[in-house]
Each structure stands twice: as structure tokens, then as C-alpha cells.
Structure 1
């Protein structure tokens, strides 16, 4: 167990939220301080957030994932001291901070690649990339190179090169020393060489020992068996895209069996369950997918959806602005998914999410407990989470009408951790429209 399991994550795409120009104009503007000055950190504290995930903050050409310098905060966001101040302000509020580690690829303006462009095979950094000296490219470099998913300006790094890996290890050590960060989100971890992931694990363990606290590695994964990238020698945890799809799709199709199958497959008590006790990162949207308020056909289902997110196995993560229901389509450039926002807002959805966070924080069963499905219907799902001597029943009603659910609670009464209302399990349990209850058994 570490600080991660009971945490509530909050994701911010800084270049978007802070209103930076899409292309790097070379002008230093201290936009990152917006997180402090415009009340975003106070907002996170009020919401119940315990860890902030910052998407790319280091110098890049455009969207942050085309890094040009790992050692310098992007001038569109400010300077290194601005990042140090943001992390310190978060820590003062009890909020840990993860940075986005973009180690699979860099941009064409990356300083070592520019040295290769100038000196070609005589560059001491030529081995940092997968280069074909007999090829060429659209920029007429006189050579070609491996890329990330065919994107020509995202140049794949060669992690068979020990000099490169040692350089990146020093970068991570410097980030921890200079900014006091608590871990990393590893971008496209599913593309990273497992040997390199193991090397990062050793660096993370070194930093954990130094800090006396977990230095977390959160891997971005999308498909396949997540155990490929997760374990004692790899990432601590990974992104749960499997349940992401099931969460919203179950609501839209009135088919709660879809997400129930995923939850049972991932976290149940069967021998074939894949991730029991491994605390995947759960989410309903992020900087790469449509905003959940756009994705859902019926916006009244936002509350039961978030109730399910905070009640299921794993660690919940909320994407900035979605807690009050902003919308955003996925289009070229993803600008709608990563908008500039002024100050944070608060409405009944935000208030509901804060209540869910408080309820989850009260329950060791919801944080660490087992998962047992009790009832599933087209628009209702009931399951039990249990840990040591505590049992909590999570009941979800995605219908716009009241529903009665029947299950063996194995106790006579309970109290809803969200509302504080006592409940008698005899004769069936009635659920309000588009509602969730976390009943702790008495």
C-alpha cells in the first residue's frame, strides 16, 4: 500500500488550460502560475483531489509531445521556477504532483536531433535515434528515421542506446530534485521497450528510497493485457481504457452488462481475473477522448456515471472542467478537448463529485476492497466491495425512473456514505432516478 491507492487524481493539460499559443512563439509568459493565481489548486483541494497529473510542461514545438528540451519549462508556460512554485503550492494543500514523461519520441527541434542534422553520423547523439542513412524524408534531411505511429515530426528514441537511457535517468532525477515531483505519467507506455520500463522502475525505486515515499510510475496503456506493462519491475499502475469504454457505452446503450463484464473480468474473485488488487487508473474522459458531457446521450446520467467511477475498483481521475460538465468534440488538433479556461467553476455536478470523493475517502472497502457483483440489469448495477471487517454495497441506477433492486445484502441495515441516510435492506432497495448509493453495512 502507498499514497496512490486512496488517491483521487485530477488531470490538467497546461498548454490548453493556460491559453498558450499552439505553436511555440519563443516568448516567455508565466501562464503556468494561473494554477495558483486563479484558484485552481484551491479548487482541487475543495473537490477532494489528492494528486495532480500535469500533461507536458517542458519546451516543445507545439502540443507538448514534440519535446525540444527536457530541462526547460516551455516558455509559453513560463520558467522552471514557475513549475517549482506550482508543485510547492500543491504540496501545501496536500496534493501530490505527477509530470508527463514523454520518453518514446521527441520533436524535430530536440537539441540532440538538431546535432544529428548538422553532423550526421559523426554526431555523438546519432545512436539516440533509429536512423536509416540511406533514406530521406519530406524535410530532405538526407536520412530517414523511425517515428511514433508514422507521425513524421515525432522522432522515435532508440532505447537500445545506454547513453540515451542514462541521459533520461538524469533528467528524471533532476525533475525530482528541482521540482519535488511525486512521480511520472509515462506517455504511450505501451510503445516503450520493456527493458527500458524496467530501467525506469529501478530509477523510481531509487527515488522512492531517497524520498521515503512512493515515486509513482503511471503508464499510459490502451489495449491488450495490462500486465505486460505493470508489476514490481515495471509500472505501478496503468490507464484503464477497457473500462473507460464500458462506462459511457453502458449508459448510452442501456446495457449495464457491458461494464459489469469488464469489472468482473478485471477485479472479481475468479482465478482468471486479471488485475485484482492492482488499482488501475479509472476515468471517463481525458485530453485524448471526447468530453464525457459530449459522449453521453443523456446528461442526467453524468451523476450515476461518476458514482460508478468512484465506487469501482481502482483510482478515479477527473479531467479539468469535466467536473462541472463542459463539452468538447474530438477533432483535428484536439483543441476542443484541451480548452483555455479562466477560473474553475462549481455547480451541482461538481458538488456531487466532491461528495463522492469524501465518501470514498471514508471507506477502506472502496479503496482496497474486493469486488463481488450482486445484481445487473439493463440500467442498474449492484456490487459489493469488502475489506477486512467492512462491507460497502454500491448501487447504481442509470434510469430516469425509480428502480427497485433485489440482492442479498447479508445485513439488515446500512448507511449511505454519500448522503448519510440510513437504509433498510428488507423487501428490496429503491433507488432514485439517475442515482448512486454507497451503503456501508451495519
Structure 2
């Protein structure tokens, strides 16, 4: 398994994000690339573990008219800046791939300049396609040549020329040696010569283990490009179109049929075609702009993160920003963004929270990267499928209707499922689950089997709980009890609402205790740890209680007793849930075993029982 099999990409157009000038004067380097360093932690925080960034190298304008393949664009900085950027990405566990513009060059590229200067005597006259010294071009050079896309600014390389192939191969080797890059996205791969791509693949296999080649391909049979001899992956424009139009037209048949066709291209195997999935990029309008009903942002991204393929987020779209394609300009698709403006988006922006939650679910659920795909149900407005891997069946449900919808679906070999985004738990009855999918929403149903107790509650909070922190998780989960408001404090000390207080504490403690087995073991290492947490929770609650009118009427001892009782009841419930989850890991749990656990309400015994599983 290679790193890209489990990748979640973040796509950066650096000249746009950094606010670089539209034209390059080739002057002193401006170190704009360094302004992207703070973004790395954000990218990691929303669950992305790979960056596709480019174009990066010296060019005259938008970046795709390359002037020098071995020099970072002066508007972005120096080669040392790029080396440092990749190094910092790697330090934070993020892979990096560059944009490889190997179909054409700009007119300022040294080989083209030599042709202008020496004409028929240039040793580089065969580096470009169909150079004709009897013709002319829009720049009045006195010769013509084949361009890309009708733009004389982009001179098309002669990819059959072995010198060109050797030169580009050396560029790739230089990028790996100088910058330690992990892969390349080939620009305009759908018009590259196939023998040329095969040679690039041989270089990729040589320079670095698991070096990834992904190509920009718009339409066609993707198998022509994705195979052992050419590329590892291509851009999935088929699915891109289906995802937004399938929601705008309330037509999940379009999406499901597109997935079925693509899955068939790969031999109906999840490893057959590992396509690069996206809902927007630097060449197409933002997904938030394209969606007629903005609420469809949620089901669109649930599908992006769960369907077969490698998901990618285009910078800024995790904030729900607009971007409309304009005549003769893509500037609105490639805006400058200030990191300071979005620094707290993870906590404040619902779109960012959703993307962060999906990223965490994707990285913690191998079935979404490796699992077989099977369609379970399909209507114009509802769609469900499973991803099965190593005996685990993950079920995905989406709904583009304005009303909630209940689905009855075949389930895997598990006693229950939990919604990774909502925390809702549903039991399996006769091999099926009945789930309610909220209007214009989606859910990822994770099986609770083989001792896996996925903490859906924490995932719904965007995975903020650090698996290595023994106490921090409990503290964060209980902040809403102790610090949320005076109203909550009053509820805790009001006799008639005592049950509500217990429910609040019970819910938050249970969330933490329902984390994975290994996390539970770490948090339950000793009675002392739990007692210290209990004391901290009680003290924090008491500080807030003291500020409420109701709290002032009760003696300190009564307040402590009330909070202590609420915590103990919540903690016991959490411990019982943890014990049952661990018992499931070791084999079937009978009703009597469950009863024994639930009847044992003395926390000392429960803690000792938990410790026995270590």
C-alpha cells in the first residue's frame, strides 16, 4: 500500500493564494511562498495529508508558460524557500506533489529563445512541434510553431524528441534531489504522447519509492492513462460533473451511474482505478457557486470523501467561498486569502467543521480507501452504498431532498452502527439497519464490531480529542457542562432538574469513553487519574455555579455533593460502555454478561475491571 492510497489532498494555486502579481518582471525574489507555512497546520487539522501545489516555477504570467523549470517563480521566492516549505510539510506528515507543465513552455524558455535568435541554425529547433521558418505567429517572430489551446504564448514541445524527454527526466530528478517532492501532477496529460508518459513513469519509478504520477485528463477512457506503464491516476472530471449536476437536478441516478461506469473501468475493484476526485479546482467554478441549493454542500462532500478514489479539496472551498468563472479570466477562481482571516474557521465556520470531520473519518476508516463498492439503494433524491474491507462494511447514505428520509438497508456483520457525523447509534436487526437521513445531508455509518468503539461524538466535534492526551479529552468534553452558561449552572443545582444535570454529564463523559479501545485504555490507567479529573470537573462547575443567583442560595458543600453525584453517575455509565466495548473485542457478549456489567454500579470494581483488560 502506497501513501497515495490513503491520501486526502489539499490543492493550492500558489500565485493566487499568495496574492502574487499577474505578470513576472523577473526582478528580486519576493518570499511569498513563506506565507503559506501557517497553512500547513490548518491543512493537517482538516484531515488532509497531501498537498498538490502549482505551478511553482519561473514563468511570465499565470504559471503555465514556463521560463525555467529549475527555479522557483521570483514572485514566490527562492529555491531555498521551496525546499523549506516541502521540508515543513514532511515534518507535519504531509506529502507534496508539484504541477509538471511538460506539454509546452513559455516563449521565454531558453530553447525557444535560441530558436528566435538562431532560427534554422538553432540546435533546439526540433524541441518544438512543427517549427516552420516560412510561417509567422502573432508575435511576428518570422516563424510559426504548434501551440497549445490556440495560444502562441504556449509553445508545444516535441515529445518524440529524445533530447526533450531526457531534459524533462532530468527536471524530475532535480525536483526530487533539490526539493524532495513526492509526486507530480502532469498538466494537459490528455494531449501528452503516450510513449513520452511511459518514459516519465520509468523516471518516477527510479527517483523515489511510491513516487506518484497523476495526470490532468478531462474526458475519455481513463484506463488509457491509468495503468502500470503510464500514470497512477488522473483527474476525475466525470465524477466532478456528476456530483454538482446530480444535486442541482435532484438526480442521484447520474452520480450512481457515473460511479458504476468508472468502477467498471477499473475491473470493479477499488484498486483498479484510483482516480483523483474533486468538486472544484483552479480551472472550474467553486462548488459553493455551482450548487443551486447551498445546503447540498454537505451531501456533495460526504460523497467526495466516501466514493472510490482519492479526495481533494481546493484551497478556500473548505470555507464555502464563492468563485465564478469570468470571460477571459480565472482570477476569481484563484483569489488571495489571508490566513489570519480564516485562522479560527475550524471552530467558527460550519463548512470547515464539516470538511474537518470528513477528513478525520476518512483517515480513520480504511474501508473508505480500500473497500469494495456496492450500491444499496437509489432514487432521484436518496442514495446509499457500502464500502467493504476486511470484514468491515461501512455504509454511506445521502439525501438531496428537503425532508428527512428513512432508509432500511442491508448491514454488515455487526451488532450496531454509529453515525460518524451525528453520533447516532442504530442496532442491526435481522441483518439490516433502519436509519433516518436528515434533509440535504449525509451520514457515514461505522460498524461497532470486533471491539471497535468509534467515538462518533468526538468525531462530530471534528476530531479535536488528542488520542495521546489522557485528561484533556475529558476536560474538553465537560467544558460545556461547567462553563457553557449560567443557565446550565442553574440546571445542575436545581432539584427539579437534577435528571437533566445527570444527563448532561452522562452524555459528555460517555462521548469520551466511547473512543477507540486503545484510547480508553490510556485514559483509564488508574483510579487516581479519574479522581483528579472528577475534582477538576467539580471545581470548574463550582466556579460557574458561584456566579449564578441560584448557586448563591446553596452552601458550598451541597453544590459539591450535587456535582459529585452527577459526575459519578455519568462516569459509571461511561465505564460500563467501555467495558462492554472491550468485551466485544474478545468475543460475543451475552445478555447475562451485559446485565452483570450494568448491575455493577460500584465504580471501584468497574475501574479494576477496566484495568484487567490492559
Instruction: State the TM-score, normalized to the length of structure 2.
Output: 0.69
1:424 and 2:430 matched: no
**How far apart are 1:401 and its partner, in Å?**
1.7
Q: Distance in 2 between matches of 1:201 and 1:321?
A: 32
Residue number in structure 1 paired with 2:229: 233
Shift of 1:440: 2.3
**Cα separation, 2, equivalents of 1:7 and 1:139:** 44
What SS class does the counterpart of residue 164 from structure 1 fall into? helix
TM-score by length of 1: 0.95
1:391-430 aligned at under 5 Å gives the runs 391-411=393-413, 413-426=416-429, 428-430=434-436
Name 2:192's counterpart in structure 1.
Answer: 192
**Counterpart contact for 1:18–1:340, Cα < 8 Å:** yes
Q: SS where residue 48 of structure 2 aligns?
A: coil
Counterparts of residues 248-327 of structure 1 (less than 5 Å): 248-267=244-263, 273=268, 277-327=272-322
1:243 alignment partner in structure 2: 239
More strand by share: 1
In the alignment, the residues of structure 1 paired with residue 34 and residue 223 of structure 2 have an alpha-carbon distance, to the nearest angstrom, of 38
CA deviation map 1:5-50 (0-9, x unaligned): 11100000000000011111223211111101xx211111111111
Secondary structure of 1:259's match?
Answer: helix
Shift of 1:410: 4.8
Q: Is the 8 A contact 1:14 1:54 kept in 2?
A: yes
* Paired residues of 1:360 and 1:367 also in contact (CA < 8 A): yes
Q: Secondary structure at the match of 2:126?
A: helix
Residue number among 408, 432, 439 corresponding to 1:433 in the alignment: 439
Find out whether 1:80 has 2:79 as its counterpart: yes
> Equivalent residue for 1:35?
36
Secondary structure of the corresponding residue to residue 428 of structure 1 = strand
Matched, 1:341 2:344: no
Q: Could you tell which deviates more after superposition, 358-367 or 186-195?
A: 358-367
Secondary structure of 1:286's counterpart equals coil
Shift of 1:233: 0.8
* Residue 124 (structure 1) shift: 1.1
Mapped partners of 2:412, 2:81: distance in 1: 54
The whole-number CA distance in structure 1 between the counterparts of 2:52 and 2:63 is 14
1:52 correspondence with 2:54: no
Structure 2 portions without partners, runs of 5+: 450-614
Aligned equivalents of 2:439, 2:259: Cα separation in 1: 23
| C-alpha distance in 1 between matches for 2:271 and 2:236 | 13
Structure 1 residues 171-217: Cα deviation after superposition (integer angstroms, max 9, x where no partner): 11011100010010000111100000000000000012xxxx31110
SS at match of 2:324: coil
Tell me, in whole angstroms, the C-alpha distance in 2 between the residues paired with 1:238 and 1:107. 24
Residue aligning to 1:360: 362
Q: CA deviation at 1:272?
A: 6.6
Q: CA deviation at 1:417?
A: 3.0
Distance 2:441 2:250 in 1: 15
Say whether 1:113 aligns with 2:112: yes
Q: Distance in 2 between matches of 1:163 and 1:271?
A: 34
Q: Which has the higher contact order (CA 8 A, sep 6+)?
A: 1
1:5 & 1:275 partners in 2: Cα distance? 10
> Take 1:341 and 1:384, find their aligned partners in 2: how far apart are those partners?
37
List 4+ stretches of structure 1 deviating above 6 A.
Answer: none
Alpha-carbon separation, structure 2, partners of 1:271 and 1:227: 7
Match runs of 1:198-213 below 5 Å: 198-208=198-208, 213=209
Aligned partner (choices 361, 381, 384) of residue 382 of structure 1: 384
The unaligned stretches of length 5 or more in structure 1 are none
1:340-375 CA distance string (max 9 Å, x none): 111162111111111111111122211101111011
Question: Could you tell me how far apart the structure 2 residues matched to 1:374 and 1:177 are?
Answer: 48
